[in-house]
Amino acid sequence: MSDNQPVLSIKDLHVGIEGNEILHGINLDIARGEIHAIMGRNGSGKTTAASTIMGHPDYEISSGKISLDGEDLLELEAWERARKGVFLSFQYPQAVPGLQVGHFLRKSVASIRGEDSAKGPVFREALKSAMEEVSIPRSFLSRYVNDGFSGGEKKRFEILQLMLLKPKLAILDETDSGLDIDGIRVVSRGINAAIRGSDSGALIITHYSRILEHVKPDYVHVLIEGKIVKSGGPELALELEERGYEWLESGNNGGE
């Protein structure tokens, strides 16, 4: 593995669901320590891309490649990808009634980072400081995973998991949606703590630029109807904020 090998490399990825192609040839490289943003309207294929990288079995890959640190991911199941270092913060986290948060976190840390990280003071300290960072009270530990959580609590809980699992690649699917300004500030603090200064790569998926003011991306890509139509620096996010997406849609490329 050479030093300039990307953490995530996606080549000409075509993905469909129930026979309909949704992603039409995506290319994306994320190097160590880089933060990329994918912006796009609802229905453009953002969650499809995130779920495919994580390994959701419902998405059919007709061609293309996804690799992590040069290793092919496509043959691996979601849990194996997680153990290799892929993390997804879900747009819609799922509730598991009866599964206690504390128990779940410990089990997840054990399976991804090893038993030693999930035991004793090491785990307790990591848990305590991560919970403080994203303003989650201790009482949360005995609640059930995402069961009856508010929208904001769900998102903070996703970021808490990000902080504890320390992935090589963090994919954040609309972590900002449904949050107020304070909520965005809190989750951003957690995201920065988890990935700044590490050599993890991050892919932030959003349709507003607001979160990008708190977690500055190195690159911004625009996804329209399953294709990346434009890539640029952080300034592209601001431009999208001002001008919307229309000027980038097919047949409207006059602005280029």
Partner 1 sequence: MAMEEAREAVGDYDLGWHDPEHSTIRFDSGLSEEVVRKISAIKNEPSWMTEIRVKAYHHFVNRPMPGFGDREALEGIKFDEVCYYLRSSDATEKDWDDVPDDIRNTFDRLGIPEAEQKWLSGVTAQYESEAVYHSIREDLEAQGVIFLDMDSGLREYPELVKEYFCSVIPYQDNKFSALNTAVWSGGSFIYVPKGIKVEMPVQAYFRINAKNMGQFERTLIIADEGSSIHYVEGCTAPTYSTDSLHSAVVELIALDGAHIRYSTIQNWSANVYNLVTKRGIAHEDASIEWIDGNIGSKLTMKYPSVILKGEGSHAEVISIAYAGKGQHQDAGAKVHHLASNTTSKILSKSISKDGGRGSYRGMVTVSPKAENCKLNVVCDALILDDESQTDTYPTMEVANASARCEHEASVSKVSDDQVFYLMSRGHSEEEALAMIVNGFFEPFTRELPMEYAVELNKLMALEMEGSIG
Report residue 58 as tokens: 């419902």
Question: Which residue in the set 107, 119, 196, 216 belongs to the binding site for partner 1 (CB under 8 A)?
Answer: 107
Distance, in Å, from the CA atom of 66 to the CA atom of 30, rounded to the nearest integer, reads: 12
Sketch the per residue contact string, 50 through 89, with ligand ADP: x for CB under 6 A, - otherwise: --------x-------------------------------
Q: Is 46 in the site for ligand ADP (CB under 6 A)?
A: yes
Q: Is 206 in the site for partner 1 (CB under 8 A)?
A: no
Report residue 2 as tokens: 């050479």
Q: Is 111 in the site for partner 1 (CB under 8 A)?
A: yes
Dump the DSSP string for 39-81.
E--TTSSHHHHHHHHHT-TTSEEEEEEEEETTEE-TTS-HHHH
Q: Is 206 in the site for ligand ADP (CB under 6 A)?
A: no
Region from 40-48, 63-71, 149-157, 243-251 binding ligand ADP, contact rule CB under 6 A: 40-48
Dihedral sign for Cα 192, 34, 57, 14, please: positive
Question: Which residue in the set 13, 35, 39, 47 belongs to the binding site for ligand ADP (CB under 6 A)?
Answer: 47
- Whether residue 230 contacts residue 236, with contact meaning beta carbons closer than 8 Å, is answered with yes
What does DSSP assign to residue 179?
A: -
What, of partner 1, Mg ion, ligand ADP, none, does residue 17 touch, CB below 5 to 8 Å by kind? ligand ADP
Distance, in Å, from the CA atom of 254 to the CA atom of 233, rounded to the nearest integer, reads: 20
Nearest CA among 203, 229, 256, 236 for reference residue 44: 229
Q: Is 148 in the site for partner 1 (CB under 8 A)?
A: no
Q: At what angle do helices 101-113 and 151-165 cross, to 10 degrees?
A: 30
CA distances (Å), origin 173, targets 66, 90, 203: 18, 6, 8
Please, which of residues 7-26 interact with ligand ADP by CB under 6 A?
17-18, 22
Q: Is 47 in the site for Mg ion (CB under 5 A)?
A: yes
Question: Which residue in the set 10, 28, 30, 48 belongs to the binding site for ligand ADP (CB under 6 A)?
Answer: 48
**How many residues make contact with Mg ion (CB under 5 A)?**
3
Sites of contact with ligand ADP (CB under 6 A): 17-18, 22, 40, 42-48, 58
Sites of contact with partner 1 (CB under 8 A): 51, 54-58, 77-79, 81-83, 87-88, 90, 92-100, 104, 107-108, 111-112, 144-145, 161, 165
